[in-house]
Amino acid sequence: MPEQGVTVGQLLIVEYQTIKDEQKARIGFRDNLLYVTLAVVAAVIAAAAQAKQASMLLALPPVCVVLGWTYLVNDDKISAIGAYVRADLGPRLAALAEPGGGFQAFGWETGHSGDPRRKSRKAIQLVVDLTAFCAVPIAALVVFWVGGEGGELLVVLSVVEALAVVGLGVQVVVYARAARTGV
């Protein structure tokens, strides 16, 4: 009875399926973070308005920073998986399928990036990300500052929160630029 082993091609296909499952799960999680952020923002604003306490808005910046950073990290991992499939896994599998070259495995992984509307979608997504995770908490801080309520400790806390939100905004732009330039 001949011994049956696993081929390199089979291992590469299993690896592809596994990382695509991870990518799919991360996409779902990442996309839901925007909805969670909207729900939290609405809840905090409603509670602050009902209680007539602008200081309650100070809950928004840390929540938006944590959710925004989690969104950003997942988005980066999603892109890294795609880059790995395009640059490493696909070519190795293609070389096994057609040693002389010419065959391209996983054409979708590279084909969709040539879409002429991709740049505009990326730009719009950057605006959405900056609005959801940075502009909204900065607006909440401005409302708090204009309201003039709260003691010195809350003002110091709000400044620290503002710095954290600005830091997140910088990272959102840096990650978007890196994705755009392929870095």
Task: For residue range 48-98, list pLDDT tens digits in order.
Answer: 999 999 999 999 999 999 999 999 999 999 999 999 998 899 888 888 887
Output the CA torsion sign for 135, 139, 142, 148.
Answer: negative
What pLDDT score was predicted for residue 76?
94
Low-confidence ranges of the chain (pLDDT < 50): 183
Q: How far is CA 62 from CA 121, 147, 160, in A?
A: 28, 20, 10
Looking at residue 94, its pLDDT comes to 86
Give the per-residue pLDDT at 180: 66
Core vs surface per residue 72-101: b (16+ CB within 10 A) or e: bebbbebeebbebbbeebbbebbeeeeeee
Cα Rg, the chain, nearest whole Å? 23
pLDDT for 99: 73
Tokens read off for 38: 């909207």
Nearest to 132 by CA among 156, 168, 167: 168
How many residues can be counted in the chain?
183
What pTM value is reported for the model? 0.87
What is the C-alpha to C-alpha distance for residues 8 and 5, in angstroms, rounded to an integer?
A: 10
Task: Please give the pLDDT value at position 67.
Answer: 98
